[in-house]
Amino acid sequence: MKGVIRIPPAKYTLTHNLYPFLIRSLELKFTLMINEGPYQHQASDTALQFARAVLEKGHEIYRVFFYHDGVNNGTRLSVPPQDDRQLQKEWSELSKAHDLDLVICIAAAQRRGLMNAEEAKRQGLDADNIIEGFHISGLGQLIEGSIQSDRTIVFGD
Amino acid sequence: MAMLHIVNKSPFERNAFESCLNHASAGDSILMIEDAAVGAITKTAFAAKVEAALQDKSVYVLSGDLAARGLSEDRIISGVETVDYAGFVDLTVSNETTQSWL
């Protein structure tokens, strides 16, 4: 909870009319949820650009949670044409640059063949494919992210 | 407690946009992104519904998604405002809650 500025709901404040202006000057925490795979439609592209804009404005991204086909944003074995968007790499690089917490849902990942080394070993598989910056965890991370964040924004199909 | 409604599907493909307009409250904001950007265009079969929403709600369209579909800003419904990604972030900040109409 350190550093969190708790904002009471507008209806409880005396400065209701000033609320949008007051809140605009504060740094907020965001959790993003991505439910669509890369190259399917546009959700991952939108979320990536939104995430960059959030960081440029000085807000914090507490967590990015990848669910359903969204887990496919975390493979390092994707090789799109060189002049195409390199979504997995771009998420990975954004994570490295801003120390982002990129979480892949374990149940969604197992169904779709997304494995880190530890999970591959546990399942007796011969390969892993998670790109740097992502890690595998449970749905509880989405809930905890939403509780800890001021805003939760969902991107998907 | 104002809500930001994010719509990302064309109103000519799915009914998510129409559901959004039916549920949004006065004072809410509606942001058209991705394929929903076509909903910002004037003189379409859907334009009257967006114009009706403008009576008591704010309506925005993500400028990059409009441009990506070859639609120029001079074709958008009067009263619909264009925003970039920074404006998108500002909308999520100034509205306490957000609903994505997926």
Chain A, nearest residue to B1 by Cα:
A10
- How sure is the predictor about B71, in pLDDT bands with cuts at 50, 70 and 90? very high
Interface of A with B in 79-108 (CB under 8 A): none
Residue A26's pLDDT is 80
In the block, residue with structure tokens 């998907």? A156
Distance from CA of B26 to the nearest CA of A (A): 16
* Model confidence pLDDT, tens digit, residues A19-45: 555 555 589 999 999 999 999 999 999
- Please give, one letter per residue, the 3-state secondary structure of chain A: CCCCCCCCCHHHCCCHHHHHHHHHCCCCEEEEEECCCCCCCCHHHHHHHHHHHHHHCCCEEEEEEECHHHHHHHECCCCCCCCCCCHHHHHHHHHHHHCCCEEEEHHHHHHHCCCCHHHHHHCCCCCCCECCCEEEECCHHHHHHHHHCCEEEEECC
CB contact under 8 A, A155 and B100: yes
The model's pTM: 0.89
Burial A79-92 (b: 16+ CB within 10 A, else e): eeeeeeebbbebbb
Give the strand order in the sheet containing A29-34: A134-137, A102-105, A60-66, A29-34, A151-155
Chain B residue numbers with beta carbons less than 8 Å from the beta carbon of A46 are 8, 33-34
CB contact under 8 A, B35 and A41: yes
Mean pLDDT of A74-92: 97
Residue A7's pLDDT is 55
Cα distances (Å, whole numbers) of residue B51 to A153, B15, B18, B48, B77:
26, 17, 13, 5, 7
Name the 3-class secondary structure at B95. Answer: coil
Q: Could you tell me which residue, A134 or A6, shows the higher pLDDT?
A: A134
CB contact under 8 A, B85 and A53: yes
CB contact under 8 A, B34 and A46: yes
| Distance, CA of A118 to CA of A124 (rounded, Å) | 10
Q: What is the domain count for chain B?
A: 1
CATH number of domain containing B53: 3.40.1260.10
Domain, as residue range, for B72: 3-101
Residue A47 corresponds to which tokens in the numbers above?
A: 């979320």
Q: Which CATH code is given to the segment(s) A27-155?
A: 3.40.1260.10
Chain B residue numbers with beta carbons less than 8 Å from the beta carbon of A42 are 8, 34-35, 65
Chain A, nearest residue to B93 by Cα:
A24
CB contact under 8 A, B86 and A28: no
Mean pLDDT of B27-55: 98
CB contact under 8 A, B8 and A28: no
Does residue B9 contact residue B34 with C-beta atoms inside 8 Å?
yes
Q: What is the ipTM of this complex?
A: 0.97
Mean pLDDT of A9-15: 48
Interacting residues of B4 by C-beta distance below 8 A, sequence separation 6+: B28, B29, B30, B31, B91, B92, B95, B97, B98, B99
Q: Is A52 on the interface with B (CB under 8 A)?
A: yes
Q: Which of A54, A55, A150 is most worth mutating to test chain B (most B CB atoms within 10 A of its CB)?
A: A54
Chain A residue numbers with beta carbons less than 8 Å from the beta carbon of B91 are none
| Distance, CA of A118 to CA of A137 (rounded, Å) | 12
Residues of A taking part in catalysis = 105
Q: Which of B33, B34, B98 sits opposite A151 (nearest CB)?
A: B98
Q: Which of A10, A41, A50 sits opposite B88 (nearest CB)?
A: A50
